[in-house]
Amino acid sequence: MRRLTPSFKERVWGSTKLEPYFPNSERKIGEIWFEGIPDPRLLIKFLFTTEKLSVQVHPDDAYARRHHDSFGKTEMWYVLAAEPGAQIAAGFRETITPERLREASLSGEIESLLQWHTALPGDTFYIPAGTVHAIGAGLTICEIQQHSDVTYRLYDYGRPRELHLERAVEVSQLGPVSALPRLTRTGQEEILVASPYFTTSRLRISNSESYILPTTNAPLLILIEGSGLFGGHSTKAGDVWYLEDEESEILFSGSATFLRVSHQSSIDASETHE
């Protein structure tokens, strides 16, 4: 087992307040990427927002492969902390035309066309490729995604960054989406998202002296709350661990909440979004 290394990315919409997950920063850190996952198809991030992110959309695998020689991007967000009134947008309130999407992106009307959700700690949002989305201010989020940075911006609140309207319109779903997955339970775990690319579950461990944590099919562990000893190593909220194939189980002692992530290695993701 090994702890993955965080890489801090400065963003205009980021925050200097990163505690309790990481030390506070003098720079505005928006994203923290965890490097070194042997499976190149997955990426784990923490996001910190003090301003709205752009309204954007990601392509699926077929489109991204054709135009960028890249994976597409399906992702999920787990809300770790939220200021009062914080919101997330996913999909549209009603079906619109490509022409209206283009016009609304240029005018800023797109904000009012989106379906906005109040975001609370513990909420999960699932954002398949093609879903037009936006993350509001005042949020700390754990993001689990395909390892792709292909993003098409539709609207950016007047910031001097490039928009990608033609390609965004080509890949966008133009109606409502179901961004709030239904939780299911298997034993002590709650399945948050089960997608063709990853499955993420939540596991809460309370005051355990030696909890045996099986690692089969779920090699990524994200500690989002609490602390303890994990396989003999001290760990706290904000740590991301990769469990090697030869380790079938790990002992944990302490009180913590984990997200367990499996990579769907048996599925050829390039064939699921043709």
Q: Is 153 a catalytic residue?
A: yes
Q: For residues 142 and 77, what is the distance between their CA atoms, to the nearest angstrom?
A: 6
Structure tokens at 51: 């301003």
Question: Looking at residue 248, what is its pLDDT?
Answer: 67
- Mean pLDDT value across the chain: 91
Q: Which amino acid is at 21?
A: Y
Residue 272 has pLDDT above 70, yes or no: no
Q: Which of 84, 70, 73, 64 is nearest to 45 (CA)?
A: 73
> What number of other Cβ atoms are within 10 A of residue 45's Cβ?
20
Label residue 68 left, alpha or beta by phi (over 0 means left) and psi (-120 to 50 means alpha): alpha
For the domain with range 184-269, which CATH number is right: 2.60.120.10, 2.60.120.620, 3.40.50.10800, 3.40.630.10?
Answer: 2.60.120.10
Residue 254 has pLDDT above 70, yes or no: yes
Question: Looking at residue 229, what is its pLDDT?
Answer: 93
Q: Between 3 and 39, name the one with better pLDDT.
A: 3
Same CATH topology for 2-171 and 184-269? yes
**Range ranked top by mean pLDDT from 49-58, 175-184, 250-259:** 49-58
Please state which architecture CATH assigns to domain 2-171: Sandwich (2.60)
DSSP string over 36-99: --SSTTEEEEEEEESSPPPEEE---HHHHHHHHSS----EEEEEEEE-TT-EEEEEESS---HH
Which of the residue ranges 129-143, 183-197, 241-255 would you say has the lowest mean pLDDT? 241-255
Label residue 254 left, alpha or beta by phi (over 0 means left) and psi (-120 to 50 means alpha): left
Given 66, 153, 159, 161, which residue is catalytic? 153
Instruction: Name the pTM for this structure.
Output: 0.92
Tens digit of each residue's pLDDT (9 = 90 or more) over 47-78 = 999 999 999 999 999 999 999 999 999 999 99
Residue 266 has pLDDT above 50, yes or no: no
Domain boundaries, the chain: 2-171, 184-269
Tens digit of each residue's pLDDT (9 = 90 or more) over 104-139 = 999 999 999 999 999 999 999 999 999 999 999 999
Residue 210 has pLDDT above 90, yes or no: no
Q: Which of 259, 260, 14 is nearest to 122 (CA)?
A: 259
Tens digit of each residue's pLDDT (9 = 90 or more) over 7-38 = 999 999 999 999 999 999 999 999 999 988 87
Tens digit of each residue's pLDDT (9 = 90 or more) over 155-173 = 999 898 999 999 999 999 9
What is the Cα Rg of the chain in Å? 19
Residue 274 has pLDDT above 60, yes or no: no
Q: For residues 115 and 132, what is the distance between their CA atoms, to the nearest angstrom?
A: 10
Task: Give the rounded distance of the alpha carbon of 153 from its chain centre.
Answer: 17
Question: Looking at residue 273, what is its pLDDT?
Answer: 32
